[in-house]
Structure 1
Amino acid sequence: MRRLIAGNWKMNGLASSLAEIAALRELTGKAACDIVVCPPFTLIDRAVERAKDSKLAIGAQDCHAQQSGAHTGDVSAEMLANIGARYVILGHSERRLSHGEDDEIVLAKAIAAHRAGLIAILCVGETRHERDEGRAIEVVGGQLRESIPERATSADLVIAYEPVWAIGTGLVPTNEQIEEVHAAIRQILEERLGSDGRSVKILYGGSVKASNAQAIFGLRNVDGALVGGASLKASEFAGIISAAV
């Protein structure tokens, strides 16, 4: 399976940051993996323009469940598709925690993403407390079962496992912990999607950097990475991309 490396810029990036998109263009032609960058809403259309005629895809970090309406400050999946976005990150723990998004909301947004023709990168992950209680598989499995649209396929769905306690902390689960959760995710995908579940990419996210990427990519059922801070600079991101062989 061809790996996918996704960069989540979060609430970072001004017009000057578009130079990083231009730099990444040069990497995509040589890369042995698919690459997507998800900048803030304010840069998506210009990032699409900078990535034009290359293999670099541009995505968004969220969308609203409705196509249009009185939702001040929100952006619909159709609006994202209209300006050239191809992916959208949904259910990220930062949205779940700071915006109160539950599985029902994430499901509605995933349905909206598919309605607009976007590929949904659906995030799941446990907190440190849930991990310490031995509930990681239960929590991740519950999020997954309640958030995957009924008609999802490997063509429009990517799963990203991000243990909440590893995001931006420098902490990384053991290889055994990552493989255990990814194996459980794969099993649920096959239960839900049949044989097509074997083709859904499962990304790992949480303090991924060039120094640990190769080891992580060598684990079973790890089909790429969702990268935060290390994706802000093309030079740093390049080290992770080059590890995805």
Structure 2
Amino acid sequence: MRSGPQRVVLKQGTGFRLICLPFAGGSARSFVKLARHTPDDWEVVAVQPPPLSEGGALDLDGLAEFYLGLLAGELHGPGLLFGHSLGAAVAHRMARLRAPDPSEDLHLVLSAPPAPVAPASDLVDLDDAGLFALATRRGFLPEWGVSQDFAMRFLLPNLRADLAVLGKRGWVPEPVAMPVHLLGGSHDIAAPPASLAALDVLAPRSTHLVDGGHLYVTEQPEETARALVRIGREAGAPGPSEADQTVA
């Protein structure tokens, strides 16, 4: 079960800031490996979803408001607000709820975003065996090498609760005032590369692919970091030569 701080500094830095929002079933610690591969001067901050024991379930607006409160002093650039999967939908909703000042120079990165207007109620209503089978097939669960029994007891409750955030309406991509970039996995079944092309309504400034499945952010952290460095150059990060020298 998730516990501990709800805002975690994964890496100290003095320059560029990377703010990470986790995927369904994930946590702030899901970005530890990614943080290790970011440039030396980058600060990496991640948020921890509220524990299941803290009150009732949140909807998309509620989770966005929760994160806005946690990050009230850090939503400025130069930097990236980076959400993966469910985190992408929440990051987008944060941008809709909060009117950013253009001078903040904070860019929005939607990584493997959920299919637009796809309700999660059908997934949430599955029994444990059904949800485990579907999550495994779509790559929602990290490859930890744990038993099915362990996954169903300790991973599925968080995954189910997080999927419920999307509710019956799902995620609705709408224009936001922040500059938007899209990131996807070349072998992602849940959010295939072709789905990114359907997000023209967001007027993305760039689209990048990482060689991997749905959880490339944890399974391919070095390549994900390189993609973020490329995106970061548009948001005030160090130039090509300096950034390339500092990425592990």
What is the TM-score when the length of structure 2 is the normalising length?
A: 0.36
Which structure shows the higher helix fraction? 1
Under a length normalisation based on structure 1, what TM-score does the superposition of the two structures give? 0.37
Q: Which has the higher contact order (CA 8 A, sep 6+)?
A: 2
